[in-house]
Amino acid sequence: MAERGEGPFEAYLREVAAGLGELPPAARKEIVRELRAHLEDAVAACGGVADTVRQAEIVGRFGSAQRLGRALALARRGMVEGEAMRRVVGGLARWAVAGVAILVAALFGALLVWGVPAATPDNLTEIAGAYGRTVLPASAEHDLLIEVHDHATIFRVNDDRVPEIAVAELLREVQPGDRIYLTVYKRFLPADPQGRGIVPVAAIRTDTATYLALPAGGGGAAPPYSRAIIVVATLLAGVCVWPEVRATLGGRRRRMVTAG
């Protein structure tokens, strides 16, 4: 019902706003503004005459104000819930991608820090000692170990290179006490020559034979592009996480302003 001095359009818009229920004020104002624009478009389509009779005729075509308000509120709530669901799903997807990227960066970082480096002259050194014994791997997934009496260090051949060793010849031809030369990685040698440690072996030889040659091409456990992968994975994780961080900081800032 129109209040005193209120035209049909204003009365209709007020009743529609009343039917919008508990929508946020900003959403209510937006809906009323859009509906007012539709009413004005209807007036323009009728020749631009907007007297009381014409306004009443136009709002009559729009139907019950309360029913229209409830329908618009229901549609808006569906849009809001759908947008919220999209944000949640998008956020979970971004966090998942960021988690995978961080895992990849950590894996290649571990290879760089703890992995066997490239077999280059700068990374290798040769040690000599009295051969003790060769401990064969219990399975294909284990390393082969070589004991040298002059060192407390354990020398191991990584499982991916075990098939390259002439194991049978080594066991048959080299006897305990014979002189043996191991090319090993400097990074893993203990500071004390008699100190304990586990040192990867790159090559094995005696004065008369070679039982494990240096790897072709000087490859190591960490691929040469590991640093690039770490950088790309870290940037990807940052890009994925930044929208969530920005939204969190923005919400906190708004709450502080409101509280102040």
Separation between Cα atoms, residue 100 and residue 233, nearest integer Å: 8
Residues 97, 103, 106, 110, CA torsion sign: negative
Residue 148 lies in a domain: yes
Residue 247 lies in a domain: no
Residue 137 lies in a domain: yes
**131 within 8 A of 173, measured Cβ to Cβ:** no
Residue 229 lies in a domain: no
Query: Encoding tokens for residue 88?
Result: 């949640």
3-state helix, strand, coil in the chain (%, to 5): 55, 15, 30
Residue 82 lies in a domain: no
Give the model confidence (pLDDT) of 26-35 as tens digits: 888 888 888 8
**131 within 8 A of 179, measured Cβ to Cβ:** yes
DSSP letter at 195 equals S
Give the model confidence (pLDDT) of 230-247 as tens digits: 778 888 888 877 777 777
Separation between Cα atoms, residue 233 and residue 126, nearest integer Å: 37
Residue 75 lies in a domain: no
Query: SS in 3 state form for 110-142?
Result: HHHHHCCCCCCCCCEEEEEEEEEEEECCCCCCC
Residue 92 lies in a domain: no
State whether 59 and 130 are in the same domain. Answer: no
CB atoms within 10 A of CB 133: 13
How many domains is the chain partitioned into structurally?
A: 2
Q: What is the largest CA-CA distance in the chain?
A: 117
- Would you give per-residue pLDDT tens digits along the chain (260 residues)? 445 556 788 888 888 888 887 777 888 888 888 888 888 888 787 776 677 888 888 888 878 888 887 888 777 777 666 666 677 677 777 777 878 888 877 776 665 555 566 677 778 899 898 998 888 876 655 678 888 887 778 888 877 778 888 889 999 999 999 999 999 888 888 777 666 778 888 899 999 999 999 876 555 555 556 667 777 888 888 887 777 777 777 666 666 656 55
Helix count and strand count (H, E) for the chain: 6, 6
The whole-number pLDDT of residue 57 equals 83
Polymer length of the chain: 260
The whole-number pLDDT of residue 2 equals 46
Rg (CA), the chain: 39
Separation between Cα atoms, residue 27 and residue 14, nearest integer Å: 14
Domain limit, last residue, from 17, 48, 63: 63
CB atoms within 10 A of CB 185: 18
CB atoms within 10 A of CB 40: 14
**109 within 8 A of 115, measured Cβ to Cβ:** no
What are the φ/ψ torsions at residue 166 (nearest 5 degrees)? -80, 75
DSSP-derived 3-state class of residue 86: helix
State whether 134 and 211 are in the same domain. Answer: yes
Q: What is the CATH number of the domain that holds 178?
A: 2.40.50
